[in-house]
Amino acid sequence: MTVMPRILLVEDDLITQVAIQHLLKNSGCAVVVAGTGQEAFAALQTAFDLILLDFGLPDIRGFEVAQRIRAVEGPNQHIPIIGLTALNDESYLQRAADAGMNAVKIKPLTQAVWYELMTRHLSR
């Protein structure tokens, strides 16, 4: 039996949520959606295999969410965090790396990009 990867999608835009959820579910993933940083922290009471994290949340910037997650991870924990942004801003790459994100992708998230992320960050 194959275990479905559990993905936490942290995204405040409803249209983007629906589009990414559809993509993830069609690739065999279980998806939990959080619309704010606070909802993301609450959702993290359960385990996830990967986090897709929007930079521009209404309550807490995605960079800070990633930093907080990294600050509480145990020595044998490291959830891949993929930053999502609509802006193609080079300065975001360094800020994302400094916050502990594993990668940054420009929205919209395409099927090809998602499969590359799955291969790189979900292979066990």
86 lies in a domain?
A: yes
Please give the chain's pLDDT, 124 residues, in tens: 468 999 999 999 999 999 999 999 999 999 999 999 999 999 999 999 999 999 999 999 999 999 999 999 877 788 999 999 988 888 888 899 999 999 999 999 999 999 999 999 987 5
Check: CB of residue 105 under 8 Å from CB of residue 115: no
1 lies in a domain?
A: no
The CATH number of residue 62's host domain is 3.40.50.2300
2 lies in a domain?
A: no
Give the pairing of strands 103-106 and 50-54.
Answer: unpaired
Check: CB of residue 106 under 8 Å from CB of residue 86: yes
4 lies in a domain?
A: no
**Can you tell me whether residue 59 is helix, strand or coil?**
coil
Count up the domains in the chain and report the number.
Answer: 1
72 lies in a domain?
A: yes
Residue 43 lies in domain: 9-121
3 lies in a domain?
A: no
